[in-house]
Structure 1
Amino acid sequence: MADSPMTQIAFCTDFSENADDAFVLAKDLAWHYGSTLHIVHVMVTFSLAPVPEVYVPLDYDAKFVERATEAAKDAIQTRYVSRLKEKQPYEIHLLSGYAATEIVGFAEKQTIDLIVMGSRGQTGLAHVFFGSTADRVVRKAPCSVLTVRIPGKAEKP
């Protein structure tokens, strides 16, 4: 569609239930607008804090990284690609680093028109250390960001 306001839509996943709900909306929007759907997963490779001064690369061996990459590709195929409509254009992007930074950088480089992601992914201690990836992406993204909540699971005040 030449007149489409959205030719590039990024769906970001951490494979959570919330991300799965966001996928349904992302794929339908991409189909409606004739957009390419970019399926993005960030493999976190830094420890503890999202502060540049304390980034510490974890010592992963090549076999571990290879297995993690293959597992992510398989999960994307099974959970998402298999549910796309026939001939729906898509691309898979496996990134590595701090999730919010990588997503924002990806959106800038790929000239993404809309990012669709779950409003909540990490829970527990990871959320305490990292905060909400969605919150950071909303604040820093170069485009609109649509965050999707799990129906009936609003956050309690």
Structure 2
Amino acid sequence: MLKITVLAVGKLKEKYWRDAIGEYAKRLRSYCNLELKESPDESFAEGISTAEEDKVKAREWQRLIRQIRDGSYVIALDVQGEQISSPGLAARIEKLALDGQSDITFLIGGTLGLPGEALQRADWRLSFSKMTFPHQLMRVILLEQIYRAFKISKNEPYHR
């Protein structure tokens, strides 16, 4: 069974986010082995310099990279990444599995996003929109789209 890991910076504090994640995690059990990992985010003052932002992202990345398994196909969520449709994501995941890639890791950065090193490490950069979303909400959107991808691949009904 396909192993999917979502590595995210920051802890979900609000119950409604945890409930939504829990619902999709439950739905995904029949399609994959899902692992959700949180890495602490760095605190920083508003209005810090670009150089300081880079340092914050680098510290967050150092905690994330240690959690990526060797051989895992890494997909970084990045506003500048490739935009595809839900059927396109389904086809991509299906092709990875058919090609023998049984371990996929999705990366979600913190408030400031992922640093260049993380984007360079990624095997693929995926964008859900040119718009920016809160990283807590992106976890829910990502899990919903992974779930939708499995439903599409299995030709199972799901609301459109």
| TM-score, structure 1 normalization | 0.34
